[in-house]
Structure 1
Amino acid sequence: MPDWIDACHVDDIETEEVIRFDHADRTYAIYHAPDDAFYCTSGLCTHEDVHLADGLVMDFEIECPKHSAVFDYRSGEVLSPPACINLKTYPTKIEDGRVWVNLR
């Protein structure tokens, strides 16, 4: 698998929103932060494998749609239970208006 994967166009994600990105049988979540940066985490809540792309983004946090666990999507850190395992995070970069994610 190549190091950097073309995930989406920057315009595909509104500010303070999240989209689902599937690649190689895995699910990821890509976020457009209020500071105009882009972030990527594993796409499933660590509590019960619910898709985070269906959750609520507020500032730099994602709230799981099922049991309301909250994570800081910049670091993957759990901020509120019931989740107790941090999300895995992945580096992103912007080139030619595209969001690239390093999934290694």
Structure 2
Amino acid sequence: MPSDRSGWTRACDLERLIDQNIVCARAGDVDLIVIWSKGRAVACERACPHEQADLSHGHVSEGRLVCPHHAASFDLLDGHISRGWASRPLRIYPVRIESGEVWVRIKD
């Protein structure tokens, strides 16, 4: 994926994201997914921090990403896991939309 000097990497076309709701992407050496939820794009790590399940096979419900392996869910605002699960939060990355493209920034 193309990137610019400030650390932003093009992840996908906005139209594709809206059509598919979840799109896999790679930024540098980071596998991630980009999600369309409640009219906004969210980027997060692709592997579940609990058991490393592939979150691209999950689904979004009420602003939460539901893991396909154990049905725990992650808040798409801050990455926190649902109650009852011992796991670190899901990594959420900054996103910008520019000229119909979704860009993700991995580095701070």
**What is the TM-score normalised by the length of structure 2?**
0.84
Aligned mate of 1:66, from 66, 69, 75: 69
Percent identity, aligned pairs only, is 26
Match of 2:42 in 1: 39
The count of corresponding residues between Structure 1 and Structure 2 is: 103
Cα distance, 1:15 vs structure 2: 6.7
Structure 2: which 5+ residue stretches go unaligned?
Answer: none
- Alignment RMSD (CA, Å): 1.9
1:18-33 matches, cutoff 5 A: 18-33=22-37
8 A Cα contact 1:71 1:80, kept in partner: no
Cα distance, 1:25 vs structure 2: 3.4
1:81-92 matches, cutoff 5 A: 81-92=84-95
Structure 1: which 5+ residue stretches go unaligned?
Answer: none
8 A Cα contact 1:16 1:57, kept in partner: no
Match of 1:53 in 2: 56
**What is the TM-score normalised by the length of structure 1?**
0.87
8 A Cα contact 1:16 1:59, kept in partner: no
CA distance in 1, matches of 2:86, 2:15: 31
